[in-house]
Amino acid sequence: MSIHERHRLSVVVNARGTFTPLGVSRSSAAVASAVAEALPEFFVMDELGDRASDAIAHATGAQAGTVVHCTSAAITLAVAACMAGTDPRRIAALPDARDMHNRVVLPAVHVVDYGQSNLQAIRLAGAQVTLAGDEKRCRLEDLDEELDGPDVTCLMLVSSRLTSGEPLDLTAAVRAAHRRGVPAIIDGAGQFPRTADLLATGADLVLISGQKYLGSPTAGLVAGSRRLVQAVRAQGNGIGRGMKPSKEAVVGVLAALEEWQAMDRAKWAADQETKVTAFVATAGEIPGVVAEVVPDPTSLPLSRALLKVDDAPGLARELEAGLPPIYVMTDRQDAGELMLELLPLDEAEIATVIARLWALLDK
């Protein structure tokens, strides 16, 4: 009996990407077996934390790293680290940050909602958010103006396809913060393959989701300066207690990082491209469908399949209503566009998607 049958759960085809309500990603057999091996064992958790730091540093080029429960937790704890450092009194006082530098500067174009607003993840540490610029754009002058104010503890930046408005030059933004002695943090939750690029902006901490493109169990990876990573770890005795990683998550991250480093990345990228190109060629034969290969807007080494159809919201609804339900990206459905992320799908699932599209559109 499958796990879905045993618990009476729906089998779904997930072409929506690393989407939390659908279980995010598939872990490899090697990661799954490392997790199974860890569960019945005891560990000295600090030792496991040190090994995770070495592994994250080795994989990303950062000085140090740590694992927390998820990226949302990583945002809260990175802000807490900037406010409280490793001072036990301050760590115990949070989220009361009244006597600390407690203002986080965030470009307004980097306010995102991944199921929760990142504004709330920042405020959860006890910090207050000051937005720079407006929803359309944040110029460096806008950032400078806010960074110049009193009580700034850090600059928070987001690298994601969820950001809006004109893109901001992250390297220049980090430099503007550093000119004022303010640390810069980049939330790159869905950007694992680009962690080194994000660190190359000079950011003090880069936050990455383990369960998205690394394919580990749910985990937030924090990579960056030794001093701030140490401060993030220190929050474990404060507000970080409820955001700690499980032993099996840390072991799963170690296994996934090892696998990633052993992988032939050029071949991986080429295989993904072949998969998307083949899908687009097949889908383009369906009446009423214009299909295109679309590169990731944030330069992840990953393309997606764009389908242009007459009634995109209607098609998305029918795909979800069928058996098995098929989930696609609907952000631009009102413009007649559906996007499919094929990365985790196997051949049978791709055949299911194609067959369903024929059934729904060839009338």
Binding residues for ligand PLP (CB under 6 A): 20, 70-72, 112, 114, 158, 160, 162, 187, 189-190, 209, 220
Q: Are 232 and 247 in contact (CB under 8 A)?
A: no
- The nearest distance, CB 224 to ligand PLP, in angstroms, is 16
Closest CB to ligand PLP among 256 and 353? Answer: 256
Burial of 358 (0-12, 13-18, 19+ CB in 10 A): middle
What 3-state DSSP class applies to 323?
coil
Q: b/e for 67-94, b at 16 or more Cβ within 10 A? A: bbbbbbbbbbbbbbbbbbbbeeebbebb
Instruction: Return d(Cα 63, Cα 202) in angstroms, integer.
Output: 12
In terms of Cα–Cα distance, which of 204, 260, 253 is closest to 232? Answer: 204
Whole-number Cα distances in Å, 151 to 82, 90, 105: 12, 15, 10
Instruction: Return d(Cα 283, Cα 292) in angstroms, integer.
Output: 9
Closest CB to ligand PLP among 17 and 126? Answer: 17
- The nearest distance, CB 173 to ligand PLP, in angstroms, is 16
- The nearest distance, CB 24 to ligand PLP, in angstroms, is 7
In 210-273, DSSP assigns E strands to: 220-224
Closest CB to ligand PLP among 90 and 110? Answer: 110
Q: In the chain, count of helices (H) and strands (E)?
A: 14, 12
- The nearest distance, CB 251 to ligand PLP, in angstroms, is 18
Residue 297 DSSP code: T
User: Mutual orientation of helices 265-283 and 347-361 as an angle, nearest 10°?
Assistant: 20
Closest CB to ligand PLP among 120 and 274? Answer: 120
- The nearest distance, CB 338 to ligand PLP, in angstroms, is 20
- The nearest distance, CB 219 to ligand PLP, in angstroms, is 8
Closest CB to ligand PLP among 330 and 361? Answer: 330
Q: Strand 152-158 vs strand 184-187: parallel, antiparallel, or unpaired?
A: parallel
Closest CB to ligand PLP among 24 and 286? Answer: 24
Closest CB to ligand PLP among 279 and 327? Answer: 327
- The nearest distance, CB 114 to ligand PLP, in angstroms, is 4
